[in-house]
Amino acid sequence: GSCTGYQLQLSTSKNFKSGTITKNINNKNKLSYTRKNLKKGSNYYIRVRGYTSYDGQKIYGTWSTVKTVRCR
């Protein structure tokens, strides 16, 4: 089926154990997210997964591969 939205995670650790921010994007047509006040020179790790709603519960897909971004 199709997804209802996306869940995005941004973290300062590779394994997403600390410094993790989770954001739900409820509009499946909105494929961007902007985060301000990131630390210059730091590495951030990002992953995303889709979800769909069924009987009032969210059913999540698998996480994407982790992408590394260095903040300038």
Of 18, 23, 71, give the one whose Cα is nearest residue 47: 23
Determine the average pLDDT of the residues in 52-67. Answer: 92
Q: Which class would CATH give 5-70?
A: mainly beta
Determine the average pLDDT of the residues in 7-31. Answer: 88
Determine the average pLDDT of the residues in 46-66. Answer: 92
More confident residue, 30 or 68: 68
Determine the average pLDDT of the residues in 22-26. Answer: 89
Q: pTM for the whole thing?
A: 0.82
